[in-house]
Amino acid sequence: MYIQAGARTDLGRVRKNNEDCYSVDDGLQLYVLSDGMGGEAHGEVASQLAVQTVLTHCRQGANSRSTPLFGEASPDVSERTNRLASAIRLANRKVFETASADADHKGMGATVAGVWVDGQKMCVAHVGDSRVYLLRAGTLEQITADHSLVAEKVRVGILTPQEADASEMQSVLTRAVGTSPGVEVDTDEQMLFVGDTVLLCSDGLTRMATDPEIASTLLTSSSSQEAADRLVDIANDGGGVDNISVIVLRVLEKSEGLLDRLKIWKKYSG
Amino acid sequence: MSRLLLKFEKTNLKEVPLGSQPVTIGRAPDNDIQIDNLAVSNYHARVYVEAGSLVVEDLNSLNGSFLNDMRVERAMLKDGDSITIGKHEILVDQIHDATAPAQEMRKAPAPRVNETMILDTEQRRKLLDAAAAAGERSQLAPERLRVPTLTVIGGRTDQKEYRVSGKMTVIGHSKMATVRLRGWFTPDVAAQINKHDDGYYLGRGDRIPKINGASIAGPTKLNDGDTIEVGRVRLHFTFRD
């Protein structure tokens, strides 16, 4: 199997600057998305620094497995997932230090959602309310739990999902990268199958589009890029009140290219 | 059950329950809510449920329909909204029921605090504690302190018993599977168990597993004592002390 990635970020219709940032590394099969905050262009400093730090640390880890982890490894997840979580903790430290060093940048922070595909396994780590969804057999499942006040209230049964959707407290995060010296990173792992679609997105999409709209868009698009473009359009049609970023990953059957066939031929022709 | 209350100068005139059929409002006698006033068109407006949300739609009336004093052609309604038609008022009384799943509701752009903000840990704890004290907190399941275990009760596997630890437990032929299935034609990943904050969820792989004899539709939470079937392998899921 292989991953076909499509991605797009958009200003939306209300904001004056785009504080979202994403990165697609097809070679490493590493996909990172971040939604910055802090106002007056500092949100974008935070999100870019976060994405860059995650990327650099994961690349180093992939090149040399002895690259030390930042923070404690969890026995619950694989080495790859631990590396991704370590990268987000490091990003937290870097954003926090930058924010503390410069009065202009005080208070900036970012969400980070990262997906790293390792063979058939998908490693997931996140902080904040940017989400990762998995669409499998027609069913869309959010596999990250938002670190927002309303989502935490829903989880403990104080708010209904309907009330959460209507709440004016939606922008209140309970965890973010860069706002305190340390951060707890949530991790998850899933096996991927041909036909699956994975979506990473900022809240600019999920506030404007319902899960059924997202699912049907992913199901009816002919490529990952088309799906990403259409999701951004839906969010803008719905009002586009925030920056919108999406990364769509489709898990496709690996077709044997010419090189593979040559290798097989060489192997059997001795 | 939700209902519409027709009021005129604070007097309740009529109560109409909201069902699957649209409620029509107008001057003609065949409306569900008839308002005999010349300011009201024969077929003035209607209220109906669309994709789980209550909607008011003006039927090109001459004098318009007003939602909370704003003229609307079509608008989503919520509990407590007031629709004004002529000099009459129609109140939306939505009694919370579970029939409208959140996913089906068209999201209105929620009013928002303009900028994203982050609570510090102390604020967060206070807010959640206060909220938890107000509501009931049911998450502290005793299972979390015990070890989930899979006991093989049928089929060919490499062990008779497995501890479920970690975020993901793979059942299949793959080398990375915890529960390794044997035999020809067994898929690499037949099924998987994922640990969430509130428990363990069984999800499909290349096979659709069954819990207590029923095929799962999507990731399904496992309960103490469940029997899992994946192909010919049967496993007993229990929490051990």
Alpha helices in B93-150 (DSSP H): 121-134
For testing the chain B interface, which of A20, A112, A191 should be mutated: the one with the most B CBs within 10 Å? A191
A157 — pLDDT class (breaks 50, 70, 90):
confident
Distance CA B121, CA B159 (A): 44
Distance CA B6, CA B47 (A): 13
Encode chain B (241 residues) as per-residue pLDDT tens digits.
688 888 887 777 888 888 888 899 998 888 889 888 888 889 999 998 887 788 899 998 888 898 887 888 888 888 888 899 988 889 888 765 444 444 334 444 444 445 677 776 666 666 666 666 554 434 444 434 678 999 999 988 989 999 998 899 999 998 889 999 888 788 889 999 999 888 899 999 988 999 999 999 889 999 999 999 998 899 999 998 7
Q: Which residue has the tokens 């915890």?
A: B178
Closest chain B C-alpha to A67 CA, distance in angstroms: 23
Instruction: For residue B211, give the H/E element and its range.
Output: strand B210-211
Task: Break chain B down into helix, strand, coil percent, rounded to 5.
Answer: 10, 45, 50
* A156 contacts B132? CB cut-off 8 A: yes
Instruction: For residue B194, give the H/E element and its range.
Output: strand B191-196
Burial class (CB in 10 A: 0-12, 13-18, 19+), A269: exposed
Structural contact between residues B195 and B185, judged by C-beta atoms closer than 8 angstroms: no
Q: DSSP code of B26?
A: E
Distance CA A185, CA A125 (A): 7
Q: Which residue has the tokens 């192909």?
A: B231
Distance CA A146, CA A152 (A): 8
* A109 contacts B118? CB cut-off 8 A: yes
Instruction: Give the residue on A whose Cα is nearest the Cα of B164.
Output: A76
Q: What is the pLDDT of residue B206?
A: 87
Question: Which of A203, A41, A173, A184 shows the shortest CA–CA distance to A108?
Answer: A41
Q: What is the pLDDT of residue B29?
A: 87
A vs B: CB pairs below 8 A = 145
Tell me what the mean pLDDT of segment A222-234 comes to.
Answer: 97
* A120 contacts B167? CB cut-off 8 A: no
Q: How many domains does chain A have?
A: 1
Residue B239, number of CB atoms within 10 A of its CB: 20
CATH of the domain at A202: 3.60.40.10
Structural contact between residues B153 and B163, judged by C-beta atoms closer than 8 angstroms: no
Distance CA A34, CA A87 (A): 13
Q: DSSP code of B225?
A: T
- What are the backbone angles phi and psi of residue A151, rounded to the nearest 5°? -65, -40
Closest chain B C-alpha to A239 CA, distance in angstroms: 7
- Cβ contacts of B109 on chain A, cutoff 8 Å: 207-208, 238-239, 241
Question: Which of A89, A20, A28, A98 shows the shortest CA–CA distance to A58?
Answer: A28
* B138 contacts A162? CB cut-off 8 A: no
Question: Which of A121, A87, A112 shows the shortest CA–CA distance to A3?
Answer: A121
Closest chain A C-alpha to B138 CA, distance in angstroms: 7
pLDDT digits (tens, 9 = 90+) for A91-101: 999 999 999 88
Alpha-carbon Rg for chain A, nearest whole angstrom, is 19
DSSP E strands, A128-178:
131-136, 139-142, 172-173
Closest chain B C-alpha to A138 CA, distance in angstroms: 10
- Cβ contacts of B139 on chain A, cutoff 8 Å: 155-157
* Residues whose CB falls within 8 Å of the CB of residue A196, separated by 6 or more in sequence, listed in order: A134, A135, A136, A250, A251
- Cβ contacts of B219 on chain A, cutoff 8 Å: 141
Joined together, the tokens standing for residue A206 give 């999920």
- ipTM confidence: 0.76
User: Which residues form the domain of A154?
Assistant: 2-269
Structural contact between residues B178 and B197, judged by C-beta atoms closer than 8 angstroms: no
Q: Which residue has the tokens 């309960």?
A: B223
Of A158, A160, A173, the CB nearest to B116: A173
- Cβ contacts of A153 on chain B, cutoff 8 Å: 128, 131
Distance CA B185, CA B164 (A): 25
Distance CA B100, CA A162 (A): 9
| More confident: A121 or B138 | A121
Closest chain B C-alpha to A215 CA, distance in angstroms: 11
Instruction: For residue A47, give the H/E element and its range.
Output: helix A42-63
Q: What is the pLDDT of residue B131?
A: 60
Burial class (CB in 10 A: 0-12, 13-18, 19+), A131: buried
Q: What is the pLDDT of residue B121?
A: 63
Counting residues of chain A whose pLDDT is more than 90, the rounded percentage is 73
* B194 contacts A188? CB cut-off 8 A: yes
